[in-house]
Structure 1
Amino acid sequence: MTDKWTTADIPDQRGRVAVVTGANTGLGYETAKALAERGASVVLAVRNVEKGERAAAQLTGDVTVQALDLTSLDSVRTAAAALRSRLDRIDLLINNAGVMYTPQQTTRDGFEMQFGTNHLGHFALTGLLLDRMLPVPGSRVVTVSSTGHRIRAAIHFDDLQWERAYSRVGAYGQSKLANLMFTYELQRRLAPHGTTVAVAAHPGVSSTELARSTPAALRLPLTWLAPLITQTPAMGALPTLRAATDPAGFGGQYYGPGGRHEIKGHPRLVTSSPESYEVAVQQRLWAVSEELTGVTFPVGRPTRTAAPSASAVTG
């Protein structure tokens, strides 16, 4: 594997269809841009359609926009139905959109905002679109996590919605841990089908709008440190792009920046926290997510397929 992987290493994407959530700005925009430039037909799945149309106008190639509000399961279902009606196949579903460090608030369905948006919204969308991917050899579900998944690393089943004692940092960490657990359990379920794989990525520390809800006490120090610890959205998108397109990739892998502490740098295979590989917790989270969203996947839980592990994904 190359140590300096860039968008120049993305194979020809002509004939492939990619759906990218949160693609009107930041990492999602750069991901969509690179895929479109390599020939993919790209759908920008965004909450603000007007901003999405402006983003699409700046991109070259076959780029369209689909309204999608991950804070509303009704919107997720409507978007999935619209995508299913217009797309016969989906090669890449890139679950990129997210919120971070939001004040205590809930989605329209009453879920804690970060857990509901980052995990449950994408869980539901993936389940509703997966049958457009299963017949497509080489199709991939790429879910964007964060090094923040290590923060208070646990799925708080006794208070999933953080109603008793809210921590915006802890809730963010839970949502990003859920992204990884979802990826690993999804891969276990996809493995017997042999066509679609699930992969995860994280952008390190990138200069995007995601941190707009960062508490004021942290915002000023981060502003001073930003030139030293952040990278551009284009660089931050590279782990996602590699996870989506590297021919050498396989299911259950996790990509992140190759620099010190995975803060910045060219993408490489990395490992997630020990907690993220706990199979029983992954399966419990899956069952709870199906119950909360009302979405059942067209792939069942296998009985003898090995789970992804730290040793399996380091390469």
Structure 2
Amino acid sequence: MGWTTAHVPDQSGRTALVTGASAGIGFETARVLAARGAHVVLACRDTGRGRAAAERIDGSTEVVPLDLASLASVRRAAGLVRERYRRLDLLVNNAGVMFPSYRRTEDGFEAHLGVNHLGHFALTGLLLDLMTSVPGSRVVTVASLAHRVGFGRLDEVAARSSTGRRSMTAYGRSKLANLLFARELQHRLAVAGAATVSVAAHPGLSPTALWHGDPPALARPVAAAGMRWLAQPVEAAALPSLRAAVDPAVHGGAYLGPSERFGGRGAPEATRSSRAARSGAERRRLWTLSEELTGVRYVCEPAVLEAPASAAETSSAPAVVVCPVTGARA
């Protein structure tokens, strides 16, 4: 039998933040974490739906307003979390849009890239110092099989494009950005000697609210056929995110997804991404661009950590943790 919610260890004493937790995969992720004892912050664009979701969860929860299409909202949400919590054990970057009704975000970014990547890049940077000294802490970024069709250069032109609202390529490009971000974050955390790790996951195919947008006409029959043959219930689609968040055997930099039917469904296992998602040069280039576009910069500062576990880990240089420094763009 594959990995299921029965494998989720006790989460008592831990605090988790899940974006887009009012429905779908985000809700299931939050529900299971709370049921295992975690205090879960539901970060939702629609706080009314967020509160309704929290009432359906058996456990400790709180709702924080977060609109990833607005960097001002991202900063306000991060500020609220920082006021209320001294530490964060889990950050699950789950929320996303596909074929949205609007073309650009409040800050003028192409909608898919602005919400799915840039909003989460900023949020993670603004909260990361609550995590880096917390043993077992993790950042989980939810990607997609669609990252394989994310053709085209990830640059400022694409980020500010007014086209792509109904483009699977634009959606795929944002999901490719998710994977590049997750891997570059892991690299930087590892170099810094932080306690936090970065992991990515994808849910396969599931009939979530993402499909309620306005897809291109040619994509509709393909999507319908795929849903009939490959899709799995939302409860199963949340398992990769949950395993990425809590399984102690999952290492930093891992990418998890369903193991059957071309990754569309099945138990969550380690999976392989496209070659483009593994490019170190593209990771670094996207990181620099994301800092410039969001005004959120991740900076390493020296800090003394606990003594190394073995002589092999000893170094004359001090250990460091990642401490994000932020500033609004002019």
**How many angstroms apart in 1 are the aligned matches of 2:181 and 2:284?**
9
Q: Give the counterpart letter for 1:189 in structure 2.
A: R
**How far did residue 229 of structure 1 move?**
1.7
**How far did residue 158 of structure 1 move?**
6.2
**How many angstroms apart in 2 are the aligned matches of 1:46 and 1:215?**
27
Q: Give the counterpart letter for 1:101 in structure 2.
A: F
Q: Which residue of 1 aligns with 2:139?
A: 141
Asked if structure 2 preserves the Cα contact closer than 8 Å seen for 1:148 and 1:172, the reply is yes
What secondary structure is seen at the aligned counterpart in 1 of 2:266?
coil
1:119 partnered with 2:120: no
**How many angstroms apart in 1 are the aligned matches of 2:176 and 2:225?**
28
Matches within 5 A, 1:52-71: 52-71=50-69
**How many angstroms apart in 1 are the aligned matches of 2:61 and 2:163?**
43
**How far did residue 223 of structure 1 move?**
3.3
Asked if structure 1 preserves the Cα contact closer than 8 Å seen for 2:29 and 2:241, the reply is yes
Q: Give the counterpart letter for 1:199 in structure 2.
A: V
**How many angstroms apart in 1 are the aligned matches of 2:41 and 2:130?**
14
Asked if structure 1 preserves the Cα contact closer than 8 Å seen for 2:103 and 2:162, the reply is no
Which ranges in structure 2 are unaligned for 5 or more consecutive residues? 302-330
Distance verdict in 2 for CA 1:104–1:54, change over 3 Å: closer
**How many angstroms apart in 1 are the aligned matches of 2:5 and 2:283?**
32
Q: Which residue of 2 aligns with 1:83?
A: 81
RMSD over aligned CA atoms reads 1.6
Q: Which residue of 1 aligns with 2:233?
A: 232
**How far did residue 88 of structure 1 move?**
1.0
Q: Which residue of 2 aligns with 1:179?
A: 178
Q: Which residue of 1 aligns with 2:70?
A: 72
**How many angstroms apart in 2 are the aligned matches of 1:86 and 1:102?**
32
Matches within 5 A, 1:139-218: 139-157=137-155, 159-161=157-159, 163=161, 166=164, 168-191=167-190, 192-213=192-213, 214-218=215-219
**How far did residue 100 of structure 1 move?**
1.0
What secondary structure is seen at the aligned counterpart in 2 of 1:190?
helix
**How many angstroms apart in 1 are the aligned matches of 2:225 and 2:279?**
37
Partner deviation per Cα, 1:256-279 (whole Å, 9 max, x = no partner)? 001021010110000111111111
**How many angstroms apart in 2 are the aligned matches of 1:165 and 1:96?**
24
Q: Which residue of 2 aligns with 1:308?
A: none
What secondary structure is seen at the aligned counterpart in 1 of 2:86?
coil
Distance verdict in 2 for CA 1:54–1:123, change over 3 Å: same
**How far did residue 161 of structure 1 move?**
2.8
**How far did residue 211 of structure 1 move?**
1.2
Asked if structure 2 preserves the Cα contact closer than 8 Å seen for 1:16 and 1:40, the reply is yes
Q: Give the counterpart letter for 1:204 in structure 2.
A: G
**How many angstroms apart in 2 are the aligned matches of 1:250 and 1:98?**
24
**How many angstroms apart in 1 are the aligned matches of 2:41 and 2:227?**
31
Asked if structure 1 preserves the Cα contact closer than 8 Å seen for 2:70 and 2:119, the reply is yes
Q: Which residue of 2 aligns with 1:130?
A: 128
**How far did residue 297 of structure 1 move?**
1.4
Q: Which residue of 1 aligns with 2:246?
A: 245
Q: Which residue of 1 aligns with 2:305?
A: none
Q: Give the counterpart letter for 1:106 in structure 2.
A: R
Identity of aligned residues (%): 51
What secondary structure is seen at the aligned counterpart in 1 of 2:113?
helix
Distance verdict in 2 for CA 1:262–1:88, change over 3 Å: same
Partner deviation per Cα, 1:93-139 (whole Å, 9 max, x = no partner)? 00000001336600000000000000000000000000000110110
**How many angstroms apart in 2 are the aligned matches of 1:155 and 1:23?**
31
Q: Which residue of 2 aligns with 1:278?
A: 279
Kindly indicate which of the two structures has a greater share of residues assigned to strand. 2
Q: Give the counterpart letter for 2:212 in structure 1.
A: R
What secondary structure is seen at the aligned counterpart in 1 of 2:256?
strand
Which ranges in structure 1 are unaligned for 5 or more consecutive residues? 301-315
Out of 3, 10, 30, the position equivalent to 1:5 is 3
TM-score, normalisation: structure 1: 0.91
**How many angstroms apart in 1 are the aligned matches of 2:87 and 2:123?**
15
Partner deviation per Cα, 1:134-175 (whole Å, 9 max, x = no partner)? 110110000000010000444332622363764621111110
Q: Give the counterpart letter for 1:222 in structure 2.
A: A
